[in-house]
Amino acid sequence: MDATDVRKRFAGVQPLFIDGKGVPASEGKALEIINPADGSALAQVAAAGGEDIDRAVRAARRAFGDPAWRKMSAAKRGQLLWAIADRLDKRTEEIGIIESLNNGKTLREGRGDVPPSSDIFRYYAGFTTKLHGETIPVDGNYLCYTLREPVGVCGLIVPWNYPLLIACWKIAPALAAGNTVVLKPSEYTPLTALVLAEICKQVGVPDGVVNVVPGYGDPAGEALARHPDVDKISFTGSIRTARRLLHASADTNLKKLTLELGGKSPLVILDDGDVDAAVKSCFWGIFANKGEVCSQSSRVIAHRKVKDQFVEKLAEKARP
């Protein structure tokens, strides 16, 4: 598979994935998906608006109460998650190429994102049968017990740096706990999210449990954040957007929030450290995945005794 094959694979405007099927965007708008390595057009994907988000949330809410999902045994949910992992592994080459062309990361990194994505589903496949509450003794001849229950409809918003991997980080635990999801991938990198939705359908995940709605932060992300029938938002991205999500939650139904935001992670080199090892760690810590990593080592704090040696070696390694 190459860029030509990917263009054929995604020929025409790719639909949104709502309630188990592909549907066009209600306003007929589309995202132009670009290969950032050369600026060429790769595909077109339907751009979700507020009405589409509402359709997806309503589908997720219906599926959450549907016995096909709500009454499904924990063991069966685990089998579905394991089956998703198997499908990801079987399609590693295809998915790796799509990720590389859509995101601009190297083919090695694109392929490399698939095994940890399938590992996530296998981890949570084992977790489905281990969501235990607690039994608590209280005064008198009584026991109190806690019961862990799914939160409901989860809105998942993921960025462009690890499109598949971060989507799996969010979808796998949500499904393991019995929730339903509406995933909004980045408007720049939605292709592998649509492949993942296809895989969920193929292995038998009930319709409406997983919905994928590519679109811009405004209106799609905004509509998801403010929808009164969304119980939780999980977001990876900027602090500025996180502030808007906090406001949206406060202004509507006080939905639960999980926010993973960019850091300013330091690499600390002491005077007795291995300078060569530090140079290698720093190099990959800032340049891996094109430097698009939330936890990249974007600051270096080096002891004065090794600073000059470290800077010289790092500059040499980074020189073309």
Closest C-alpha among 103, 90, 83, 87 to residue 6 = 103
Alpha helices in 91-229, H assignment, sequence order: 92-103, 107-112, 114-127, 163-176, 191-203, 222-226
As beta bridge partners, residue 260 has 236
260 is catalytic: yes
Residue 108 CB burial class (10 angstroms; 0-12, 13-18, ≥19): exposed
Cα(211)–Cα(60) distance, integer angstroms = 7
Question: Of residues 109, 198, 260, 292, which has the active-site annotation?
Answer: 260
The answer to whether the beta carbons of residues 216 and 245 sit under 8 Å apart is no
Rounded alpha-carbon distances, angstroms, from residue 7 to 42, 76, 94, 101: 6, 36, 13, 10
Give the β-pairing of 40-46 and 135-138: unpaired
The answer to whether the beta carbons of residues 186 and 31 sit under 8 Å apart is no
Cα(213)–Cα(186) distance, integer angstroms = 10
294 is catalytic: yes
Closest C-alpha among 201, 244, 251, 211 to residue 227 = 251
Question: Of residues 144, 294, 312, 316, which has the active-site annotation?
Answer: 294
- Starting at the edge strand that comes first in sequence, how are the strands of the sheet with 13-14 ordered? 13-14, 40-46, 30-35
Give catalytic residues, as residue numbers. 260, 294
